[in-house]
């Protein structure tokens, strides 16, 4: 074996299995990086700004909906008798409800839909709204 050999088999016999594993990992990483560069990148999240309003009184109003998997109550800001919230949403159809003084409510003047359990929710279709800039 030549003292200056750099063939993989010579290096493997000199450095052992650790060398083989490192070469294999580096090769796999190179392939992944190349694939990521060649594949089209997914578009960034397409968000639209929505102003939610509640005009039917209450001391404390929260918004909850399908946009956060019905898991998080988002506090709305009170200004006189009106509560508002500016929220960025992904494009699509979103169902939502208002929690007014711990009571789940829908706004009768906003579009409504009945869910699979028979509950009436408000909804908004943001498919054609202008994106957040």
Rounded to whole angstroms, what are the CA distances from 67 to 12, 71, 95, 113? Answer: 54, 9, 8, 15
Instruction: Read off φ and ψ for residue 53, nearest 5 degrees.
Output: -135, 145
Domain boundaries, the chain: 8-38, 47-125
Residue 21: pLDDT band with limits 50, 70, 90: low
**47-125 CATH fold:** Immunoglobulin-like (2.60.40)
Cα–Cα dist 97/53, whole Å: 11
User: How many Cβ atoms from other residues are within 10 Å of residue 100's Cβ?
Assistant: 19
How many alpha carbons lie under 13 Å from residue 12 in its C-beta half-sphere?
9
Q: Look up the pTM and report it.
A: 0.65
Residue 84 pairs with which residues in a beta bridge?
53, 77
Give pLDDT tens digits for 67-116. 999 999 999 999 999 999 999 999 999 999 999 999 999 999 999 999 99
Tokens of 42: 């997914």
């Amino acid at each position: 074996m030549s003292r200056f050999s750099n063939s993989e088999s010579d290096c493997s016999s000199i450095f052992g299995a650790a060398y083989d594993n490192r070469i294999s990992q580096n090769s796999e990483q190179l392939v992944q990086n190349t694939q990521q560069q060649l594949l089209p990148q997914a578009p960034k999240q397409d968000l639209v700004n929505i102003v939610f309003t509640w005009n039917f009184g209450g001391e404390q109003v929260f918004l909850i909906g399908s946009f956060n998997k019905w898991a998080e109550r988002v506090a709305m800001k009170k200004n006189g008798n009106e509560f508002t919230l500016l929220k960025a949403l992904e494009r699509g159809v979103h169902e939502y409800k208002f929690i007014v003084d711990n009571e789940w409510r829908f706004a009768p003047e906003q579009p409504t839909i009945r869910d699979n359990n028979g509950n009436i929710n408000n909804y908004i279709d943001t498919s054609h709204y202008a994106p957040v800039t």
